[in-house]
Amino acid sequence: MQLDLIILDGNRKDLFIISDQTHEPPPSDSTEESFFTRVFHKVQSAYAALEQRFDYQENVCATLRHATELLILHSPNLDSEEAGKRLERFLDQGRRKHSRWFWIDLVLALLGSLLTPIPGPNIFFLYPAARSLGHYFALSGARKARQLGVVSYKVEPRLNRIRGKLNHLDEVTQEIEELQELYGFSKLRALLERL
Q: Which three-class secondary structure string do you get for 104-142?
A: HHHHHHHHHHCCCCCCCCCHHHHHHHHHHHHHHHHHHHH
* Distance (Å) of CA 2 to CA 70, 100, 185: 6, 28, 14
Q: Where are the beta strands (DSSP E) in the chain?
A: 2-8, 15-18, 69-74, 151-155
Per-residue pLDDT of 161-195, as tens digits, reads 888 888 888 999 999 999 988 888 888 888 888 76
Work out the average pLDDT over 107-127: 92
Higher-scoring residue by pLDDT: 10, 136:
136
- Distance between CA atoms of 50 and 177, rounded to whole angstroms? 28
- SS3 state of residue 23: coil
Contact 15, 86 (CB under 8 A): no
- Distance between CA atoms of 141 and 123, rounded to whole angstroms? 27
Encode burial over 80-103: b for 16+ CB neighbours within 10 A, e otherwise: eeebbebbeebbeebbebbbebbe
* Total H helices, total E strands in the chain: 7, 4
Per-residue pLDDT of 9-68, as tens digits, reads 876 678 888 887 554 555 555 566 788 898 899 888 988 899 888 998 999 999 999 999
Determine how β-strand 69-74 pairs with β-strand 2-8.
parallel
Q: What is the pLDDT of residue 194?
A: 73
Is the CA virtual torsion 41, 42, 47, 53 positive or negative? positive
